[in-house]
Structure 1
Amino acid sequence: MKYEFIKNHESLFPIEKMCSVLKVSYSIYYKWEARPLSNRERRKRELKKQIISIYFAAKQRCGSPRITVELESSGFKTFRITVAKYMKELGLRSKLSRKFRVTTDSKHNYLVAENILNRNFLVGSPSHAWVFDITYLQTKDGFLYLTAIIDLFDRKVIGWSLCTGMSATETSLAAWKISVKNRKVGSKLIFHSDRGVQYASKKFTNTLAFYGVKGV
């Protein structure tokens, strides 16, 4: 399951980092990835790649019916139930779906910072503004929570965390530790989040204060 997850998300995250987070041997993964594939496995892998591409091109707002139509228009003959199955394996779910799993708890007693960024997502230099978010990935063994930190300057993911819990230590703090290793913190760095409890907790706000970062 871990190998499949890494393979399905290699276009989004560095393979080496995913192996490290999931505690998978880098060399063994590549041996698994290089194994001969049957025609069925090859088709399944290609179909999943197309599903991921269509899903994110639609800004995560399409379900299995629409993706099936898009696939068929591109020459991929498949069934909606098959697309739905693969989307479930990939942890993909339309944002328009009524059923969702809450990852943001904005009803907390921590201090909520002023929104300094104010949706100004165009910046002219590195480490001027970082944005954070948490999403979930459904697997057959339960949910995994993915925290990502992106520098708005070049839209690169500079920090991330993949875990089974939603505490600040597992999510925002873990992702922050990776981001500060990958990129120098600017003197006027602005940190933008959805103001959930993971970012408003004392542990995380104290960390931002230590680095002299403005949280919004």
Structure 2
Amino acid sequence: MISSDQRKEMVDPSCSLMSVSAQCRLLSLNKSSFYCIPTGESEENLSIMRKLDEQYFTTPFYGALRLTAILILSGYKVNIKWVRRLMKIVNWQKIYREPHTTISDKTHYKYPYLLRGLKIERCNQVWAMDITYIPMKTGFMYLTAIIDLHSRYVVHWSLSNSMSAEWCSEVLTEAIKKHGVPEIFNTDQGSQFTSEVFINTLIDNGIKISMDGKGRALDNIFIERLWRSVKYENIYLNVYENGLLLWEGLEKYFQFYNHQRLHQSLDYHTPKERYVLAA
């Protein structure tokens, strides 16, 4: 375990990419939504969660029963109740929802899905946002990103140790400051995205709200493909020790993704090239 003094030494006041306060949040040096090592999960649980996260991209349609069988065959001594709890932590329920695992709030209004049959022809016509679980060596964090569906450009991203509505609202606000206002904003029906604070951010900016149908992963397929790229091209190839190193690694990856990674669906342009050309 890294001591408080050691974490303080890791803060770089001269860093132009991240403020001191943001570095402190990632290093658990104050009470905020950013931490390096969430507490309460054993090494065994973290190992199982990493296994679940990798399995997600192979069989996203599997439920707790089959996943329990896979884990037992892999040598883990688990039961279905245990697996269901860890599935919830790694956010598996976005693809496969079971009773007691969904994080939606039944008291929140669910907006209709507006993208079915819609021809996306220009940048800032539709943005999409989602959250995914990111494993680290001694813990985990959550990553959220907003992408422009026409160009696949990642307009903003952020890390946190929890999936709070306030965090998601802050990320949306920053994206709007940097890139303007989209016509339509699409998310799943998670409680963060149906919350009053998040919905009000969209309404206050005059943005049309679209939400995936419950359990319909294909409704937000482009951002699911982004998660697959992030994890197979970066996360699974590296062992990040803490939140600050994870942030630095993802900063480099998203620079590569936006500015260098060629997409066949974009006629072998980069997302940045398409975003600028279409702007």
> How does the TM-score come out when normalised to structure 2?
0.43
Which of 103, 111, 114 is the matching residue for 1:113?
111
Q: Which residue of 2 aligns with 1:9?
A: none
Higher relative contact order (CA 8 A, sep 6+): 2
Q: Aligned-pair distance for 1:129?
A: 0.4
Contact 1:136 1:143 in 2 (8 A): yes
In the alignment, does 2:173 pair up with 1:177? yes
In the alignment, does 2:138 pair up with 1:144? no
After superposition, the C-alpha distances for 1:138-160 in whole angstroms (9 at most, x for unaligned) are 22342211111001121011122
Distance 2:121 2:173 in 1: 24
Distance 2:131 2:156 in 1: 12
In the alignment, does 2:48 pair up with 1:94? no
Q: Which residue of 2 aligns with 1:165?
A: 162
Gaps of at least 5 residues in structure 2 are 1-15, 25-46, 68-82, 95-102, 211-279
Distance 1:151 1:167 in 2: 22
Q: Aligned-pair distance for 1:108?
A: 2.9
Distance 1:213 1:143 in 2: 32
Q: What is the one-letter code of the residue matched to 2:177?
A: K
Q: Aligned-pair distance for 1:125?
A: 1.2
Any idea what SS the aligned residue of 1:124 has?
A: coil
Gaps of at least 5 residues in structure 1 are 1-15, 25-84
Contact 1:131 1:191 in 2 (8 A): yes
Any idea what SS the aligned residue of 2:135 has?
A: strand
> How does the TM-score come out when normalised to structure 1?
0.54
Distance 2:117 2:194 in 1: 19
Which of 133, 136, 139 is the matching residue for 2:130?
133
Contact 2:128 2:147 in 1 (8 A): yes
Contact 1:160 1:178 in 2 (8 A): no
Distance 2:177 2:157 in 1: 11
RMSD: 3.2
Any idea what SS the aligned residue of 2:171 has?
A: helix
Which of 164, 172, 184 is the matching residue for 1:190?
184
After superposition, the C-alpha distances for 1:26-80 in whole angstroms (9 at most, x for unaligned) are xxxxxxxxxxxxxxxxxxxxxxxxxxxxxxxxxxxxxxxxxxxxxxxxxxxxxxx
After superposition, the C-alpha distances for 1:93-125 in whole angstroms (9 at most, x for unaligned) are 2212735335352243100001111274x5111
Assess, with a 3 A threshold, how the Cα gap between structure 1 residues 145 and 119 changes in structure 2: closer, same or farther: farther
Distance 1:110 1:198 in 2: 10
Contact 2:104 2:190 in 1 (8 A): yes
Q: Which residue of 1 aligns with 2:194?
A: 200
Any idea what SS the aligned residue of 2:165 has?
A: coil
Percent of paired sites with the same residue:
32
In the alignment, does 2:20 pair up with 1:23? no
Distance 1:119 1:200 in 2: 23
Any idea what SS the aligned residue of 2:55 has?
A: coil
Contact 1:148 1:157 in 2 (8 A): yes
Any idea what SS the aligned residue of 1:215 has?
A: strand
Q: Aligned-pair distance for 1:88?
A: 4.8
Contact 1:160 1:174 in 2 (8 A): no
Contact 1:160 1:176 in 2 (8 A): no
Distance 1:126 1:113 in 2: 23
Aligned residues: 136
Q: What is the one-letter code of the residue matched to 2:179?
A: R
